[in-house]
Amino acid sequence: MSPRPDNLPALRGARTGGGDVLPEVRAVGLPRITAGFDEVERLDRVTHLSVHGSMPSGMTESELIDLAELMVLRGKGGAGFPFHKKLRAVGENVKKRGIRPVVVVNGSEGEPACRKDATILRRAPHLMLDGALLAAEIMGASQLIIAVTRDTNEASVRDAMAERGLADRRGKALRARIVRMPERFVSGESSSIISAANGGAPLPPGRKVSSSEAGVDGAPTLFSNTETFTQLAIGARLGAIRYGSTGVAGEPGTAMLTVSGSVPQQLVIETPTGVPMSYILQMAGGSVGQGVLVGGYHGGWIDPSVASMVTIARESLEAHKATLGAGALLPLDPGLCPLGESLKIAQWLAGETAGQCGPCKLGLPAMAALLGDVLNGGGQAALEQLRKVAMGVKGRGVCKHPDGSMRFVLSSISAFTDDLAAHVLGGGCGRPVKGVMPLLGSEPIAGKGGSAGTSNQKLVVDWTLCKGHGLCAGILPEIVRLDANGYPDIAGTRVPAHLTGQAQRAVRRCPALALRVEDAGRR
């Protein structure tokens, strides 16, 4: 049975400091992953053992697979693939090929609506390492790789590895190393991380081979995200029966959620599965509003009536064609224009393109532009063209980014039919757009607090480094065009003041580090 809101214990919260500030963390009921967070900002090795105790030893591969299956453990990065099937597939390929596997922890969160993995990496890195090392040691892995973004995440993981004596040295029984990924949406793609781990560009190469067959260095690779390995560590300590003592029967344990949107502040919340979504939103200071975006920016909108009755559980959400994805919940205030807020996200998603295939490089900006046309009175013709372009993107991308973006855009125009009609048939819904959804590098909307005019900055390309990836054109199409050879044609154009944030994001996302921003007067 699902827990009742009025029976839930008091909440626990803690804040972190530093330049890259994490959201406040709270827990519904007794915390598991977030145990100790109310006492310290980061659990070092000694504190970690004091709070969680030691890991069990002597577990076999078959026992590990059974544990994951009895826990009903699924990947927590979005797809929700059963973890025991990944373990079994990697094990079978190891036996078939006679080669040691690799274990990869995906700690790359390129979506600002998701901060749970960053919270674990920065505040409880040893829990993640417990689960990853358990799998690596039992399966005889040659390497353990942790993929991260941001200096703060890397520093915390590196310190945790040093506390355990893990070394990035060839010849060690287990080589443990960190792979640094750029902070962008496609960084979380398994193929992006495997490409980077193999010394290539941190971009999806379009490979169709399962990582369990051939991943890092061509070896069978066990790939899952930070929370998955962390939950494995909790389950190994508790055992499957105790692990299932909280949450719903078909999906036991707790879930890590990130709540943002129309709430006073972004929160990370650990909750037992089965808790009503409306309770989580109320706990965060919000409500179901005029709808909730579930699963993040590759997810979809659910209406208030559905949001009021679903629980934080796969079965409950799937009954309404929704999925929790990477654990993001974003309610929207009734006083805002839902399609205008969705347009901001669609534009950001278009800027996150890897620029490697037509559906992503051309289709996503086209979708965002057409959604803008619909909102600006383009009428039924613009709406039909938007649907046509969206369906033309489906299933044709090198990675999953085009499909996820298409799903979000179509969900937006399906969920808010009254507002859509007001924009298509009339002069709009009359409500403001405030950009309440968290977007890296986003700027205030012109006319609503945004600045006008031209800044004293310009984009500059270092031609000795530029490889013609073309990402800058996808992120900043207002300034950057690609020439006939696929290289940026900037011509010293100054950066408009309202695009300075986008320009800085283009600089950060350049895989070749070939782009920079300079004062326009500099020679």
Q: Are 487 and 468 in contact (CB under 8 A)?
A: yes
Structure tokens at 505: 């994001």
Q: Are 159 and 148 in contact (CB under 8 A)?
A: no
Distance CA 515, CA 511 (A): 9
Residue 499: its pLDDT value, please? Answer: 72
Cβ-count burial of 53 within 10 angstroms (0-12 exposed, 13-18 middle, 19+ buried)? exposed
Contacts of 494 (CB under 8 A, 6+ apart): 454, 455, 456, 457, 458, 520
* 3-class DSSP assignment, residue 274: coil
Contacts of 350 (CB under 8 A, 6+ apart): 364, 365, 367, 368, 405, 474
Task: Please report, to the nearest 10 degrees, the dihedral formed by the alpha carbons of residues 293, 299, 305, 306 taken in order.
Answer: -140
Q: Are 266 and 259 in contact (CB under 8 A)?
A: yes
User: pTM to 2 decimals?
Assistant: 0.82
Contacts of 410 (CB under 8 A, 6+ apart): 387, 390
Distance CA 489, CA 493 (A): 10
Which residues on neighbouring strands pair with residue 105, listed in sequence order?
A: 146, 224
- The sign of the dihedral angle between the CA atoms of 53, 55, 57, 63 is positive
Distance CA 412, CA 157 (A): 38
* Nearest alpha-carbon partner for 273 in 296, 250, 294: 250
**Domain boundaries defined on the chain:** 31-236, 253-331, 338-425, 454-519
Distance CA 48, CA 432 (A): 47
Residue 523: its pLDDT value, please? Answer: 46
What single-letter DSSP state applies at residue 330?
E
Inter-residue long-range contacts of 77-85, CB under 8 Å, 24+ positions, other chains counted? 77/106, 77/188, 77/224, 77/225, 77/227, 77/228, 77/326, 78/188, 78/295, 78/296, 78/298, 78/325, 78/326, 80/314, 80/323, 80/324, 83/224, 83/228, 83/232
Residue 444: its pLDDT value, please? Answer: 32
Q: Are 186 and 180 in contact (CB under 8 A)?
A: no
3-state helix, strand, coil in the chain (%, to 5): 40, 15, 45
What single-letter DSSP state applies at residue 41?
S
Strand order in the sheet with 12-14: 12-14, 24-27, 267-272, 254-259, 328-331, 292-294, 300-302
Distance CA 355, CA 362 (A): 8
The CATH architecture to which 454-519 belongs is: 2-Layer Sandwich (3.30)
**Options 3.30.1300.10, 3.10.20.600, 3.40.50.720, 3.40.50.300; which CATH number does 253-331 get?**
3.10.20.600
CA atoms within 13 A on the CB side of 239: 2
Structure tokens at 396: 């044709």
In this structure, which amino acid lies at residue 231? Q
Residue 198: its pLDDT value, please? Answer: 94
- Return the CATH fold of 31-236: Rossmann fold (3.40.50)
* 3-class DSSP assignment, residue 474: helix
Cβ-count burial of 421 within 10 angstroms (0-12 exposed, 13-18 middle, 19+ buried)? exposed
Structure tokens at 171: 């010849």
Residue 142: its pLDDT value, please? Answer: 96
- Per-residue pLDDT of the chain (523 residues), as tens digits, is 333 333 333 333 333 333 478 999 999 999 999 999 999 999 999 999 999 999 999 999 999 999 999 999 998 877 778 999 999 999 999 999 999 999 999 999 888 899 999 999 999 999 999 999 999 999 999 999 999 999 999 999 999 999 999 987 776 789 999 999 988 888 888 888 999 999 988 888 876 778 999 999 999 999 999 999 999 999 999 999 999 999 998 899 999 999 999 999 999 999 999 999 999 999 999 999 999 999 999 999 999 999 999 999 999 999 998 999 889 999 999 999 999 999 999 999 988 877 778 888 888 988 998 999 999 888 899 999 999 999 988 888 878 889 999 999 999 999 999 999 999 988 889 999 999 999 875 433 332 333 334 456 788 888 888 888 888 887 877 677 777 778 887 755 667 665 777 788 888 888 888 888 887 655 4
State the CATH class of domain 338-425: mainly alpha
Residue 448: its pLDDT value, please? Answer: 31
Residue 10: its pLDDT value, please? Answer: 34
